[in-house]
Amino acid sequence: MRLIIAEKPSLARAIADALPGRTQRRDGALEVGDTWVSWCLGHLLEPAPPDAYDPRYKQWRLDHLPIVPERWRLVPRHKARGQLKVLRELIKRADSLVHAGDPDREGQLLVQEVIEHLGWRGPVARLLISDLNRPAVTRALDTLQDNRRYQPLYEAARARSRADWLYGINLSRAWTLTGRQAGHDGVLSVGRVQTPVLGLVARRDIDIARFEPRPYHVLWADLSVAAGELRAWWQPQEHHPLDDQGRLLARAPAEALLAHLPGAEGRLTQLDARRKRQNAPLPYSLSALQVDAARRHRFSAQQVLDICQALYERHQLITYPRSDCRYLPEDHRAGMGALLERAGAGDEALRGWLTGADFTRRPRAFDDARVGAHHALAPTGKPFVPERLSQPEAAIYRLIARNVIAQFYPMLETREVKAEFTILDETFRAQGREILVAGWKPLFTSRDEAPPLPPLTEGEPVTVADAGIDDKLTRPPEPFTDASLIKAMMNIARYVEEPAVKRTLRDTDGLGTEATRAAVIETLLKRGYLVRQSGNLRATATGHALIRALPDAATRPERTALWEQRLRAIAEAGEAYQPFLDGLLADLRELLAAADAGRMRQALGETRGLGPAPKKPTSRKPASGKQSSGKQSSGKQSSGKQSSGKPASKKAKASSRRRRSIQSGSSDTPGKSTRRGTRRATRQGDDT
Positions annotated as catalytic residues are 320
Omega prior to 476 cis, within 30 of 0: no
Cα distance between residue 124 and residue 147, in whole Å: 6
Cα distance between residue 672 and residue 291, in whole Å: 40
Cα distance between residue 627 and residue 522, in whole Å: 9
Half-sphere exposure of 286 (CA within 13 A, CB side): 29
- Other CB atoms within a 10 A radius of the CB of residue 459 amount to 10
Burial class (CB in 10 A: 0-12, 13-18, 19+), 3: buried
- Whole-angstrom distance between the N-terminal and C-terminal Cα of the chain? 40
**Residues 52, 72: contact at Cβ < 8 Å?**
no
**Residues 39, 12: contact at Cβ < 8 Å?**
yes
Cα distance between residue 542 and residue 227, in whole Å: 62
CA distances 22 to 12, 30, 516, Å, are 14, 10, 38
> Which amino acid belongs to residue 632?
Q
Cα distance between residue 323 and residue 502, in whole Å: 24
- DSSP code per residue over 127-188: ---S--SHHHHHHHHTT-EEGGGGHHHHHHHHHHHHHHHHHHHHHHHHHHHHHHHTT--S--
Burial class (CB in 10 A: 0-12, 13-18, 19+), 93: exposed
Q: Is 435 left (phi over 0), alpha (psi -120 to 50) or beta?
A: beta
CA distances 561 to 368, 510, 556, 566, Å, are 26, 6, 9, 9
Cα distance between residue 206 and residue 120, in whole Å: 54
